[in-house]
Amino acid sequence: MKRQEKGQKTTADALDAVARSLPGLWRAEKIQKKAADAGFDWRDVSGALDKLDEETGELRQAVETGGDVAGELGDVLFAAVKVGRFCGIDPEDAIAGTCEKFIRRFRVMEQEAARQGCRYLRIDTNVRNTRARQLYHSLGYKEISVTPCTFNGLSDIDLVLLEKAL
């Protein structure tokens, strides 16, 4: 009934009518909800997670081959919103919380660098690479410490504290 009042003859019309002024993640969620109401949805979260894995693989391939990275990133975000919808998670709240968490973690690393007297902080997954070390040295930096750590769920990261050589 609502759709008819709005002049929407098809589900596609209803999807197209979702306000473009909404934040992208909320718009994706509303579009997915309307599609689900029309019967277009996964049976459970496992299907949505599989789709997210598939889209992540396609994004990786696009990055590696110079493909449509923007399109594939959009597909990953759309699939992630679908997982959140199955789990009852508001995507805008989730990304806002992650931004705050990242800032807190970064602040701790920055404070640790300052505590050790460093004026420059670099996170590097390849610090042991000789070329990277040569680049640091050529730019006038010296390594104060290299500490293997976990950051944002990644475990193969080194926290590298560098200081500009005087």
pLDDT digits (tens, 9 = 90+) for 79-111: 999 999 999 999 999 999 999 987 887 777 677
Q: How high is the pLDDT of residue 102?
A: 79
pLDDT digits (tens, 9 = 90+) for 32-79: 999 999 999 999 999 999 999 999 999 999 999 999 999 999 999 999
Cα distances (angstroms) measured from residue 161 to each of 88, 125, 128, 130: 40, 13, 13, 17
Q: How high is the pLDDT of residue 105?
A: 73
Token pair recorded at residue 54 = 């598939």
Pairing of strands 120-124, 154-164: antiparallel
pTM, two decimal places? 0.71
User: Is residue 15 pLDDT above 70, yes or no?
Assistant: yes
Rounded to whole angstroms, the Cα distance separating 118 from 159 reads: 12
Which stretches of the chain are DSSP H helices?
2-5, 11-16, 24-37, 45-65, 69-87, 91-115, 130-138
- Name the amino acid, one letter, at 106: F
The SS3 assignment for 155 reads strand
Q: How high is the pLDDT of residue 106?
A: 74
130 pLDDT band (50/70/90 cuts)?
low
Rounded to whole angstroms, the Cα distance separating 31 from 25 reads: 10
Name the residue with higher pLDDT: 156 or 145. 145
Rounded to whole angstroms, the Cα distance separating 25 from 81 reads: 7
Per-residue pLDDT averaged across 3-14, rounded?
Answer: 81
Q: What rounded mean pLDDT belongs to the chain?
A: 83
Assess contact for 79 and 52: CB atoms under 8 A. Answer: yes
